[in-house]
A and B are shown apart, each in its own frame.
Chain A
Amino acid sequence: EADIYQTPRYLVIGTGKKITLECSQTMGHDKMYWYQQDPGMELHLIHYSYGVNSTEKGDLSSESTVSRIRTEHFPLTLESARPSHTSQYLCASSDGTYYGYTFGSGTRLTVV
């Protein structure tokens, strides 16, 4: 049973559409993260948040944006999807430096 939920699980969408990937956690964690992962490859950090109204860009430049209006909710938005955005997007949360991350099941995005 997951304590961090991502929806949708799979999404196929046309070029130019606006999309929002949802991520919610029930653990009360302040720190939340978005990673991008291509098949068989490493994860790249694209956004993170230390708490409400805190968002930062990660190591990998991304055209997506995030918001953190509530502790439990950390959605990721793409204003205009392109085929280059096709990837798996993983959301995670953490209780602090010496704790592991809890990951959601991911959203596999395909832009056609």
Chain B
Amino acid sequence: SQQGEEDPQALSIQEGENATMNCSYKTSINNLQWYRQNSGRGLVHLILIRSNEREKHSGRLRVTLDTSKKSSSLLITASRAADTASYFCARRRAGGGADGLTFGKGTHLIIQP
């Protein structure tokens, strides 16, 4: 996809372990956001990191951003069964052009009890 990719596409871990998901992109960004989507539902906003920030925390979530490598990672610590969902990164492009976030295909995370 020209918009970037999440990696891995699917991840299965045991409850209590940490889960790491990565996101790469190709264009300059204003900010990058992570969302969670439970099966068949809408997306829930998790965290936003601006292009001039390198790391951000929210509860059990840690997001990093490396603009030189055009990549971001989402770490979920001490995973729980309720964390089972798809996780999407979304980029807000810098500069002009159509508004709106650009989403990747997501990482499907399964937490085994």
A contacts, CB < 8 Å to B: 2, 6, 31, 33, 35, 40-45, 48, 50, 56-59, 88, 90, 92, 97-106, 108
Using a CB–CB cutoff of 8 Å, the interface residues on chain B facing chain A are 1, 3, 30-31, 33, 35, 40-46, 48, 50, 88, 90, 92, 98-106, 108
- On whether the beta carbons of A99 and B99 are closer than 8 Å, the reply is no
A35 to B40, CA, bound (A): 14
* Contact of B99 with A106 in the complex, beta carbons under 8 Å: no
In the complex, the chain A residue whose C-beta lies closest to that of B30 is: A97
In the complex, the answer to whether B42 meets A103 with C-beta atoms within 8 Å is yes
Q: Is the interface of A mostly helix, strand, loop or mixed?
A: strand
Q: With A42-B88, A48-B98, A56-B98 in contact, do A103 and B103 touch (Cβ < 8 Å)?
A: no
Nearest 3 pairs between A and B by C-beta? A100-B45, A103-B42, A45-B100
Complex CA–CA separation, A2 to B48 (angstroms): 20
Which residue in chain A gives the minimum CB-CB distance to B105? A42
User: A97-B31, A98-B31, A99-B48 are contacts. A105–B42 as well, Cβ < 8 Å?
Assistant: yes
Contact B98 A100 (CB under 8 A): no
- How many Å from the CB of B102 to the closest CB on chain A? 7
A-B pair count, CB < 8 Å, reads 72
| CA A106 to CA B43, docked complex, whole Å | 9
**Chain A neighbourhood of B100, CB < 8 A:** 33, 45, 48, 58-59
The listed residue (B1, B31, B40, B48) touching A42 by CB distance below 8 A is B1
Shortest CB-to-CB span from A12 to chain B, Å, is 15
Q: Which residue of A lies closest to B1 (CB)?
A: A42
Contact of A103 among B1, B3, B44 (CB under 8 A): B44
A44 to B105, CA, bound (A): 10
* Most chain A CB within a 10 A radius of its CB, from B44, B45, B50, B105: B45
Complex partner residue of B48 from A33, A40, A98, CB under 8 angstroms? A98
